[in-house]
Amino acid sequence: MQILEYVPNHLNYHDLYINQFGKEQCYPKHHQGPRARDYYLIHYIKSGKGIFEVNGKSYQLEAGQGFLICPDVNTFYQADEENPWYYYWVGFNGIQADSLLSQAKLCGVNNPIFEYNQDNQLFDYFEELIRLQQCKPIISELKGLGSLYSILSTLIHSIHHEEDIPSRMNTKLTYVKKVTQLINDNYAKKITISEIANRVGLDRSYLNSLFKSVYNKSIQEFLIQYRIRKACELLEKSNFSVSQVARFVGYEDPLQFSKTFKKVKGTSPKYYRLSLEMEEFDANI
């Protein structure tokens, strides 16, 4: 049995970051839960069998299949009595997590199951992830993230391959991509969702529903999270005042900015910067 865990502390990633990973040959009837976690967790079965239960549904799974656990969702899973499973897992979170997963057609409640058995690629990526434990922390975090992106892209690719990318999905994605591009270009200015919809050339309400079907969040939510992420970068890497940072990420009112920041990050911008400085100070002792 080999279980590896780590908590990233060298990098401060918001887009995507790994919480833990590992592999295990389970004992018969070995189980986890029922419980919930505060990150996404993917299991991929190398051999054997087991069951996975979520939302009142029970899935019998075997080698080549896997399941996704979403944050704050109660789940239970158990290895088979005669042929217990051997699985890999990776736990992760970040702003990109749910959009990447939904592009892989994975959803913790409605569709938590995936299947990939055309080759050993997924196993290789998981093995790679586990081997990185021997590297220097900064290297293993960066490369680990690379492995995670590889795992997710393999899942997304296999889905698209199967479906041969229906043209409908394609046009939907181009609209959605236009939105993220516009946000990327204009987050520092005052921009409304209606304006974005006008620029894309679709009805505001309709565009929002398209966007939500891809990202699982409204355009507004995406914009706010994007702005706060940029603000975090500025707070970390510059000496600009909180008011200046607010203006740089498109907030005219610094008070409004602080309020929103606290709502998203759970802490005020000032304290966020302070606690980063403290961490750095501690590390240097």
CB of 163 to DNA, least distance (A): 14
**Is residue 5 at the binding interface for DNA, with CB under 7 A as the rule?**
no
Quick one: tokens of 7? Answer: 């908590």
**Is residue 194 at the binding interface for DNA, with CB under 7 A as the rule?**
yes
Contacts of DNA in 106-145 (CB under 7 A): none
C-alpha 173/C-alpha 282 separation (Å) is 45
The correct pick among 61, 219, 246, 249 for binding DNA (CB under 7 A) is 219
| CA neighbours closer than 13 Å in the CB half-sphere of residue 163 | 14
Task: Kindly report the number of other CB atoms within 10 A of residue 96's CB atom.
Answer: 18
The correct pick among 204, 247, 262, 265 for binding DNA (CB under 7 A) is 204
| CA neighbours closer than 13 Å in the CB half-sphere of residue 220 | 7
**Is residue 263 at the binding interface for DNA, with CB under 7 A as the rule?**
yes
* DSSP-derived secondary structure letter, 112: -
CB of 234 to DNA, least distance (A): 19
C-alpha 52/C-alpha 57 separation (Å) is 8
As beta bridge partners, residue 99 has none
Residue with tokens 């891809």: 214
C-alpha 201/C-alpha 158 separation (Å) is 31
The correct pick among 60, 205, 244, 267 for binding DNA (CB under 7 A) is 205
CB of 246 to DNA, least distance (A): 12
CB of 109 to DNA, least distance (A): 16
CB of 223 to DNA, least distance (A): 8
Residues 6+ positions from 122 with CB-CB distance below 8 Å: 44, 116, 151, 154, 155
CB of 261 to DNA, least distance (A): 11
94 three-state secondary structure: coil
User: By C-alpha distance, which of 62, 65, 78 is closest to 27?
Assistant: 78
CB of 173 to DNA, least distance (A): 11
Residues 6+ positions from 223 with CB-CB distance below 8 Å: 183, 187, 191, 193
The correct pick among 218, 225, 243, 268 for binding DNA (CB under 7 A) is 218
Q: Which helix (H) or strand (E) holds 99?
A: helix 97-103
Nearer to DNA, 14 or 31 (CB): 14
Nearer to DNA, 125 or 175 (CB): 175
**Is residue 224 at the binding interface for DNA, with CB under 7 A as the rule?**
yes
Quick one: tokens of 1? Answer: 């049995």
Contact pattern for DNA over residues 143 through 182, marking x by CB under 7 A: -------------------------x--x-----------
Nearer to DNA, 47 or 110 (CB): 110
**Is residue 229 at the binding interface for DNA, with CB under 7 A as the rule?**
no
Size of the site for DNA (CB under 7 A): 23
The correct pick among 203, 277, 279, 280 for binding DNA (CB under 7 A) is 203
| Sheet strands (E) in the chain | 17-25, 31-35, 40-47, 49-54, 57-62, 65-69, 75-79, 86-93, 113-115
Nearer to DNA, 111 or 209 (CB): 209
Phi, psi for residue 171 in degrees, rounded to 5: -70, -35
Q: Which residues bind DNA (CB under 7 A)?
A: 168, 171, 192-194, 201-209, 212, 218-221, 224, 256, 260, 263
